[in-house]
Structure 1
């Protein structure tokens, strides 16, 4: 088998906007979420048009969103995270141990991560989604997961539109 026939496997679509630190946080956080029984997708477009860093889904249909913050400047420059709360049952921030926990907004969960793993510093409060919003997010999750699997199976058969 030639090397060109082996699909390149990526955990997330990388579009150059993510720093090395953010990619490491996403990897470690995804490992934690999988250990907690969740399937994860990164860079998932939401019904509002925003794009969530990590969306996690478990067998019960719980939807968690994790917003990655790689620096204090990253946190200060971004207020769109508040919109993510409208698309999940629990909202978390994931960051490196270099950032203090007290800079993050109240009412969110905190995950401390590196490229190898993560730990839940504090749980996020639950705020259950309305049924219509849950369905919209679930359909986007399923569609994105199917497309990513399809690209792995046939990388040359998908056109980026």
Structure 2
């Protein structure tokens, strides 16, 4: 049985994500798991933004992965710099059909498909302040627990 410390908690698609983005998320989650991280998809951040993937490891490191399914998706995104305030490392994940050169140099790069991913460029580290780390860790844990509880008891967590 898989350890609860390394679960991948992915909510059901809600229509915001393209099929390509969902496949990138799946492959990226597999890579994160192989690196010792658990991940939560679509995690609301304290800033009001929503991160595509947030990953946490047993050392308390927090990574955010922003998924891009097309060049247009990247061009339209002006919010990605805001994610840096909520993680130790920030990455973009995308398919091999997109050129690496279009992504900002101050982020890590992950090339993914539905079955896995490859870390093309590590992200620079910018350590979180302790209070932010605690807030993000609690937010991550609460979201993961809620999603597990919904799987175990779907009728007990109905939205009204």
TM-score normalised by length of structure 1: 0.92
Give secondary structure in 1 for the equivalent of 2:38: strand
> 1 CA distance for matches of 2:79 and 2:140?
20
Question: Is the CA contact 1:39–1:57 (under 8 Å) kept in the aligned structure 2?
Answer: yes
- Please, which runs of 5 or more residues in structure 2 have no aligned partner? 1-8
Tell me, yes or no, if the aligned pair for 1:13 and 1:42 is still in contact at 8 Å. no
How do 1:5-20 and structure 2 match up within 5 A? Answer: 11-20=10-19
Larger-gyration structure (1/2): 1
State whether residues 67 and 93 of structure 1, in contact with CA within 8 Å, keep that contact through their aligned partners in structure 2: yes
What per-residue deviation string (whole Å, max 9, x for no partner) do you get for residues 104-149 of structure 1?
A: 0111000000000000001000000001111111111010001001
Partner of residue 28, structure 1: 27
1:104 matched to which residue of 2? 103
- 1:82-109 CA-to-partner distances (Å, cap 9, x unmatched) read 1000000000000000000000011100
Residue aligned with 1:121, SS: strand
Instruction: Point out where structure 1 has 5 or more consecutive residues left out of the alignment.
Output: 1-9
Instruction: Tell me the residue number matched to 2:115.
Output: 116
- Please report how far the alpha carbon of residue 155 of structure 1 lies from its aligned counterpart in structure 2 after TM superposition: 0.6
Aligned residue for 1:98, secondary structure, equals: coil
Q: CA RMSD in A?
A: 1.0
CA distance in 2, matches of 1:159, 1:104: 40
Shift of 1:160: 2.0
How many angstroms does 1:13 deviate by?
3.4
**Residue 72 of structure 1 pairs with residue 71 of structure 2:** yes
Deviating beyond 6 angstroms after TM superposition, the runs of 4 or more aligned structure 1 residues are none
Contact 1:95 1:111 in 2 (8 A): yes
Asked if 1:85 corresponds to 2:81, the answer is: no
